Amino acid sequence: MILTVENYTKRFHIHHLGRHITAFEGLDFTLEAGQFLRVSGPNGVGKSTLLRCLFRSYRPTTGRALYQSLHGEIDLARAADVDISLLRREEIGFVTQFLRPRPRVTTLELVAEPLVQAGAADAHAQAKAEALLDAFGLKPALWQAYPTMFSGGEQQKVNLARALIRPRRLLLLDEPTASLDAAARESLASLLADLKAQGVAMIGVLHHPEDVQNVIDDTITLRAPIGDTPSQPTENNHVAQ
Amino acid sequence: MTATYVPDVVPLDAPKLVAAAPLLTVRNVAKQYGRVQAVNDVSLDAYPGEVLGIVGESGSGKSTVLRLLNLQEDPDAGSYTLNIPQLAEMNLFDLDPYKRRAVQTHHIGIVYQNPHLGLRMRYTSSGNVAERLLITGERSYKTLRDAAEQSLAVSEFPLERMDDMPAHLSGGMQQRVQLAKAIALRPALLLLDEPTTGLDVSVQALVLDTLKRMQRETAVTMVIVSHDLGVIRTLADRVVVMRHGCIVEIGLTDQILEDPQAPYTQQLVHAKL
C-alpha cells in the first residue's frame, strides 16, 4: 500500500460563529501504487476537503494517513510542515481547476517551471511543456502568451500541463476535467492511463467519471455531512439554527 | 478575541524527512520598548532555501523581529543562531559589536521598505552595490565594478542606468538596487521588510517576480515581513502570524490562508481576501 488512511476526520472550527462544521468523519481507505480511486458523493460532502487534508492545505482533525515515501513511511496528518513541503516538491502533486498565473510569466514558462525547479535543463523542460500543451490541444500561438487572459478551458489545460509535467508518486485530482473540451478530456484520460501504468497512485474527484472511466479502479462514496454543531454557546450567534 | 484556543487538529511531529538542520534558529526572544512588549517569547526556524513569511498588523512586532534578525538591536532575552560553519551553536546576540558587524556584512542581507534606509541616494547605484565589497577589503576597480554589475543583473536592474543615483530612479528600481546591494556578498540569509509596499501594483508584481526567480536560482534563505497576504502567498513557503508581539500561528502558506486555525488568523485572512 502506498497510502493507508484511517479514521480521517475534518471538522472546521469557525471561531466568529462559534461553530464546528464537519466535512467528513472517520474515513478509512487504502491505495496501491498504480491504483486510481474515485471519491464520489453529492456536492458539499467534503470530497475536495479530503484531497486538501491529504495535501495538507487543510489540517485534519483526527486520524492518520500513512504514506510510503521514497524517504520512508510518514503520516501525512502529522508530518512537519517542512516534510510536507519536501513531499510536494518531490512526490505528491495536486491538480485543481484553478490556475494561478503570474504577471510576465508566459504559458510555456509557467508549465515548465516545476520541472526547472526540480533541476531539469531549461531546454528539456521546455520540450516537455510543449509536448503536454500540444497533447491537451492548446494552440501553439498561445504558448508565448500570458495565460491571465485565457478562457477557463485554456487555463485548465495550462494548469493540467503544469501539474502533470513532473513525475509524481501520488496525484490528487480535483475536477481535472471540469471545463475541458472532448479532445482534451480524451488526452487527459490517456495521459492518466500512462501514469497509472508507471505506478502513479491517484485519488480523483470527478463529476463526470465517464470522461476517464477506463482508469478508475475503485470508488469511495462520502456520506452526507453530519452537520454543524455549536462549539460553545455564544451570545451573538447570527446564524439561524 | 483571545489568543487562547484549543487547536482542533492532529498535532504535528518534528521533521523526519528533511535531514538538514535549520539555517536560522530563534528561541524565546523578547524585546520591550518602554512599557510596550514589542516582541514576546518568539521562537522560529527557517530551513536552508526556505522562504519564511511573517504577517501581522502594524504594531504586531514583525518588523522588530526582522531588526533583531539583522542584529541591529539587542533583545531583552533569547537566542539566535545561524547554522554556518564558523558560527554554528553561537548565540549571535552575545557577540561583541565588532563580530556582530562582521556577521551582518558577510551572512545577512536586508531590503527595507524605505530605500532611504538602505541606500545612499547621491552615490551611483553601482557604487551603492560595490560598497558592500569595499567593506570586505576589495580594492580592484574592475572586480568591484564586475561584482556590482553582476548583482544588479541578478536583481534585473536595467544596467544602462547602473551609474545613475538612486535619487533619480523610480521606486521599483530603487528596490532593485537595494536587492543587488543585499545579495552582493552572497549572504546565507536575506531579510525583506515590506519590499514592495508603496510600489505601484504592476511594479510590485515585477519585483516579486524578480525575488521569486532569484530565490530559485540562488536558493538563499529568506525571511519576508509583509502585511500584504498576496505578497506572502506569492513568495513564502511557510508563514508566521504575529499579533501583539506574540506568534499566533505557524503553518504552510496555503494552510494558513485556506484553513487558518487561530481565531485571529481567521479574522485576518477573511478581512484581506
CB atoms within 10 A of CB B33: 10
pLDDT, tens digit, 9 for 90 and up, residues B5-49: 778 899 999 999 999 999 999 999 999 999 999 999 999 999 999
Sign of CA dihedral B132, B137, B142, B146: negative
Is A87 in Cβ contact with B17 (below 8 Å)? yes
Query: What residues contact residue A39 under an 8 Å CB cut-off, 6+ apart?
Result: A47, A50, A51, A203, A204, A205, A219, A220, A222
pLDDT, residue B26, reads 98
Cβ atoms within 10 Å of A104's Cβ, excluding its own: 13
Q: Is this model's pTM higher than 0.90 or not?
A: yes
Average pLDDT, chain A: 89
Nearest CA in chain A to B17: A83
**CA nearest A75 in B: which residue?**
B13
Q: Does A131 touch chain B (CB under 8 A)?
A: no
Mean pLDDT score of chain B: 93
ipTM of the prediction greater than 0.85, yes or no: yes
Which residues, at least 6 apart from A18, have a Cβ–Cβ distance to it below 8 Å?
A230, A231, A232, A233, A234, A237
CA dist., res. A211 & res. B82, Å (int): 52
Using an 8 Å Cβ cutoff, are A33 and A7 in contact? Answer: no
B263 grid coordinates = 481565531
Chain B residues close to A15, C-beta within 8 Å: 1, 5, 263, 266-267
Contact call for B5 and A15, based on CB within 8 A: yes
Closest Cα of chain B to A214: distance in Å?
33
Q: What is the pLDDT of residues B195-212, one digit of tens each?
A: 998 888 888 888 898 998
* Per-residue pLDDT, B200: 87
* Unique residue bearing C-alpha cell 501520488: A170
Q: Which residues of B touch A82 (CB under 8 A)?
A: 15, 18, 47, 50, 238
A46 touches chain B (CB under 8 A): no
Contacts of B5 in chain A (CB under 8 A): 15
Q: pLDDT of B64-114, one tens digit each?
A: 999 999 999 999 999 999 999 989 889 999 999 999 999 999 999 999 999
Rounded to the nearest angstrom, the minimum Cα separation between A78 and chain B is: 4
Percentage of chain A lying above the pLDDT 90 cut: 66
Using a CB–CB cutoff of 8 Å, tell me whether A103 touches chain B.
Answer: yes
Residue B110, by phi and psi: left (phi above 0), alpha (psi -120 to 50) or beta? beta
Alpha-carbon torsion angle B173, B179, B185, B188, nearest 10? -170
